[in-house]
């Protein structure tokens, strides 16, 4: 770069300002990282101490990776003794409604050895971008001749003709999501062992009905009830059914639904009710 003497004093002054300001920036970055790590530990411990299904999370380690480009979302893998035992998906609280203490929100969490965007299923293509949106999460392969998607949980490739819907998870307000200072206050177990949605197909006969299962009705289902959540994906080109296993209530107000999907994964009830429908098997009945 060519620099004349006339501009040299200005550049020197600019460098001095940058060097003077650098410690402040470094301190701010360090503060952000400490807050992020503290928030992860808070959520991890809250879940592990309240739900026995997550007992392996106790004293477990975490690794963090960024999801996508400019998404402000992070995948936190939970490992114990070198073994994968679960994950969390963390995002920045949506603007402009967030409070100062609500910098981060918990979008999803799950337990088991198979996590979202697992390296074991990651496509080898360099142009694979992780795109998070709850059940519609996928790797987007942008290589020619055509773009296509790969399921972020199972590694299953979708046909090139499939197109993703507009993201839904990002439309939720921070009031619908878990944020700092909240604790897991109530849990309810519906299906303890992992189940296949096609083991009981009462939900198939109800697909044409207008199902309206509220949170209260879900909560009233007795233990070992058969509840299915069906989610149409990619402009209804795929119908994904999930057996509901557990229900979590944070601060007695923020509801999350746990479903079996190569392990147990929890998503906000407000998200699940937007993208899918709940069906109660006809043989199931509310608790007395």
Query: What one-character-per-residue DSSP string does 75-105 give?
Result: EEEEEETTEEEEEEEEEEPPTTT--TT--EE
How is residue 272 written in tokens?
Answer: 């699940």
Token pair 């509801």 is found at: 255
Per-residue confidence band for 94, with pLDDT thresholds at 50, 70 and 90: low
How many angstroms separate the CA atoms of 5 and 3, rounded?
A: 7
Decide if 170 contacts 229 (C-beta within 8 A): no
Averaged pLDDT for residues 271-284: 85
The 3-class secondary structure across 111-151, one letter per residue, is ECCCCCCCCCCCCCCCCEEEECCHHHCEEEECCCCCCEEEE
How many angstroms separate the CA atoms of 150 and 40, rounded?
A: 27
pLDDT of residue 124: 81
pLDDT one-digit tens code per residue, 102-157:
689 999 999 999 999 998 888 887 778 999 999 999 999 987 677 889 999 989 99
Write out the H or E segment, with its range, that includes residue 34: helix 8-50
Decide if 256 contacts 172 (C-beta within 8 A): no
Residue 61 β-bridge partners: 79
Number of Cβ atoms within 10 Å of the Cβ of 58: 13
Question: What does the radius of gyration of the chain's CA atoms come to, in whole angstroms?
Answer: 22
pLDDT one-digit tens code per residue, 3-61:
333 333 333 343 343 433 444 444 456 788 899 999 999 999 999 999 999 999 999 99
Please state the pTM of the whole predicted model.
Answer: 0.84
């Amino acid at each position: 770069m060519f620099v004349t003497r006339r501009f040299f004093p200005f550049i020197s002054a600019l460098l001095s300002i940058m060097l003077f300001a650098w410690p402040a920036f470094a301190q701010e970055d360090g503060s952000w990282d400490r807050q992020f790590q503290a928030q992860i530990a808070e959520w991890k411990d809250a879940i592990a101490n309240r739900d026995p299904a997550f007992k392996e999370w106790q004293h477990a380690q975490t690794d963090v990776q960024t999801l996508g480009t400019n998404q402000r979302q992070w995948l936190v893998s939970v490992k114990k003794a070198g073994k994968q035992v679960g994950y969390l998906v963390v995002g920045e609280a949506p603007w402009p409604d967030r409070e100062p203490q609500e910098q981060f929100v918990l979008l999803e969490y799950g337990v088991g050895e198979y996590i979202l965007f697992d390296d074991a299923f990651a496509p080898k293509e360099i142009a694979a971008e992780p795109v998070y949106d709850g059940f519609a999460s996928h790797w987007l392969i942008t290589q020619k001749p055509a773009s296509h998607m790969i399921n972020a949980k199972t590694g299953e490739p979708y046909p090139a003709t499939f197109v993703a819907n507009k993201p839904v998870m990002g439309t939720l307000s921070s009031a619908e999501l878990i944020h700092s200072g909240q604790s897991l206050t109530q849990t309810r177990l519906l299906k303890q062992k992992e189940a296949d949605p096609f083991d009981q197909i009462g939900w198939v006969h109800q697909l044409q009905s207008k199902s309206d299962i509220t949170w209260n009705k879900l909560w009233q289902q007795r233990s070992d009830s058969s509840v299915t959540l069906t989610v149409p994906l990619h402009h209804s080109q795929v119908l994904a059914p999930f057996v509901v296993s557990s229900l979590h209530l944070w601060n007695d107000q923020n509801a999350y639904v746990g479903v079996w999907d190569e392990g147990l994964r929890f998503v906000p009830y407000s998200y699940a009710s937007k993208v899918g429908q709940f069906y109660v098997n006809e043989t199931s009945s509310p608790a007395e």
